[in-house]
Structure 1
Amino acid sequence: MNTAQQFTSLATAVLRPNLVPNYWSQAAWTVLRVVAGVVMIHNGLDKLANIESFAQAYVEVIGLPFPIFFSYLAAYTELIGAPLLALGFLTRPAAAGLFSTMLVAMYHHVLVAGLSIPYLELSMLYAACFLFFLVNGAGLFSLDALIGGWLNAATGQAAPSLEAVTSAEVTATK
């Protein structure tokens, strides 16, 4: 296998979603991905609106070094990762970054308020959504799935069809 084929194989593995053999569940998966991505964008904008204040109130409190740097890192992770997630493009890397920011947010909330659900609930819900997309990919209705299909076609590999996945799952459960 040459370098180009290795790259294509790696890119296909990263971009291809886990398939769920139901178009309605894939549509719901898409709605969740788009909503989670779109509503996350404002968090990055809020951080950039007053980066020094955010760094002092959140990053310094948890003891991270270079609070301004980490504040910008969180803001741009949200500003870049959230639209990528919404589009379903490079979903797993975007979800990994967003999931990381939510883990830090949850840590901050625990330090400040203990295990208080009102403080933790939003960051926990975001973290769960981002973990879902980190593990499963963007779903069938995404740019990742489209690009993964093109890469498979370019290399002559057949992408697994929904019917093939369904029959394989049925066989595996017997």
Structure 2
Amino acid sequence: MVSAFIHFLSFTQNYLDWVLVVVRVILAIVFGAHGWYKSFGKQGFQGSAIRFRQHGIPFPLFFSYVTSISQLIAVPLLLAGLMTRWVALMLLVEMTVATWAKFRENKIFDGADLPMSDWALCLLLIVLGPGNLSLDALF
């Protein structure tokens, strides 16, 4: 039983680099969509600032620009696996604030789940790095 489990772990280890590619692609899709919407969606930066103000985030217009632009910049970097740990750390900080804002409103089941999931995936990239299938692996 134990040897079968150890064999399973060594088998899955062979696919870790591909799993990290999938994590990077999923995060790029999610942050790309949200960054695009915050920037160019129906209400743009002003609409994002209004939502940030409703969530109690200080300097809402400033942070609507910061989060939108940083999320859009993160997309190609995540896809290429370039500066991955730094990008993941930046996004982790954003998701910490987003989760905190949702918890303040008692919306754990109505909005906090996505930033919490993104937070966990960012932490995974910070700890494990982007894997060998990345530009970071070349440097």
* TM-score, with structure 2 as normaliser: 0.81
Q: Which blocks of at least 5 consecutive residues in structure 1 are unaligned?
A: 1-20, 149-174
Q: How does 1:130-145 map to 2 (within 5 A)?
A: 130-145=122-137
Higher relative contact order (CA 8 A, sep 6+): 1
Cα distance in 2 for partners of 1:34, 1:57 equals: 27
Aligned to 1:56: 50
Q: Which residue, 72, 83, 100 being the options, matches 1:79?
A: 72
Equivalent residue letter for 1:28 = V
Equivalent residue letter for 2:63 = F
When the two chains are superposed, the root-mean-square deviation of aligned CA atoms in Å is: 1.8
Cα distance in 2 for partners of 1:110, 1:93 equals: 26
Larger Rg over CA atoms: 1
Cα distance in 1 for partners of 2:53, 2:124 equals: 26
Q: Which residue, 4, 29, 45 being the options, matches 2:36?
A: 45
**Partner SS for 1:119:** coil
* Identity fraction in percent: 30
Instruction: From the superposition, tell whether residues 93 and 137 of structure 1 become closer, same or farther in structure 2 (CA, over 3 Å).
Output: same
Are residues 1:35 and 2:26 paired?
A: yes
Q: Which residue, 103, 121, 125 being the options, matches 1:110?
A: 103
Q: Which residue, 86, 92, 100 being the options, matches 1:93?
A: 86
Q: How many residues align?
A: 125
CA drift of 1:23 comes to 2.7
Are residues 1:128 and 2:126 paired?
A: no
CA drift of 1:93 comes to 1.0
CA contact (8 A) 2:21 2:130 kept: yes
**Partner SS for 2:111:** helix
Cα distance in 2 for partners of 1:78, 1:99 equals: 11
Equivalent residue letter for 1:54 = S
CA drift of 1:62 comes to 1.5
Cα distance in 2 for partners of 1:110, 1:39 equals: 21
Q: Which blocks of at least 5 consecutive residues in structure 2 are unaligned?
A: 1-11
